């Protein structure tokens, strides 16, 4: 009888360890899903636009407030994000800055 009781207790410990491992795996999957959803929401804030022939960037979308009008308190200034950086492996958001060439006759984005 004791042998069967010890065997049942051993199986109980094994099942507890398996449940613990599954709970840890579930937590990691839920955390990864949350991060992916946040990244998709962040990417959804931008639209790909062509600044000039063959030069692409992401521009922030205007965020309409309730009622369909723009709320100046909740919107961000119009800005552009480097397409290569945003689509690259690090998914960095690098804001492009307008620079003027010497003499001030033309400008470019850096």
Full pLDDT tens readout for the chain, 110 residues: 989 999 999 999 999 999 999 999 999 999 999 999 998 998 899 999 998 888 899 999 886 554 455 555 456 788 899 998 888 888 888 999 988 888 877 888 88
Given a contact cutoff of 8 angstroms between Cβ atoms, the answer to whether 83 and 48 are in contact is yes
51 and 39 housed in the same domain: no
Residue-range definition of the domain harbouring residue 90? 46-110
**Residue 60 CA: distances (Å) to CA of 54, 96, 104:** 19, 12, 27
Give backbone dihedrals phi and psi of 51, rounded to 5 degrees, phi first: -70, -45
52 and 24 in one domain? no
Shared-domain flag, residues 53 and 69: yes
- Whether 54 and 83 map to the same domain: the answer is yes
As for how many domains the chain has, the answer is 2
Distance CA 47, CA 63 (A): 12
* Token representation of residue 108: 């470019």
Q: pTM to 2 decimals?
A: 0.62
Residues 69, 57 contacting (CB under 8 angstroms): no
Q: Do 2 and 28 lie in a common domain?
A: yes
Asked if 50 and 35 sit in the same domain, the reply is no
pLDDT of residue 70: 53
The verdict on 50 and 61 lying in the same domain is yes
């Amino acid at each position: 009888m004791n042998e069967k009781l010890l065997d049942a207790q051993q199986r109980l410990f094994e099942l507890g360890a398996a449940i613990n491992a599954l709970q840890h795996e579930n937590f990691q999957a839920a955390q990864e899903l949350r991060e992916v959803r946040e990244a998709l929401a962040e990417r959804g804030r931008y639209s790909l636009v062509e600044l000039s022939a063959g030069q692409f960037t992401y521009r922030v979308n205007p965020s309409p407030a309730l009622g369909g009008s723009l709320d100046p308190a909740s919107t961000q200034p119009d800005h552009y994000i480097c397409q290569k950086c945003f689509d690259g492996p690090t998914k960095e958001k690098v804001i492009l800055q307008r620079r003027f060439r010497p003499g001030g006759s033309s400008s470019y984005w850096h």
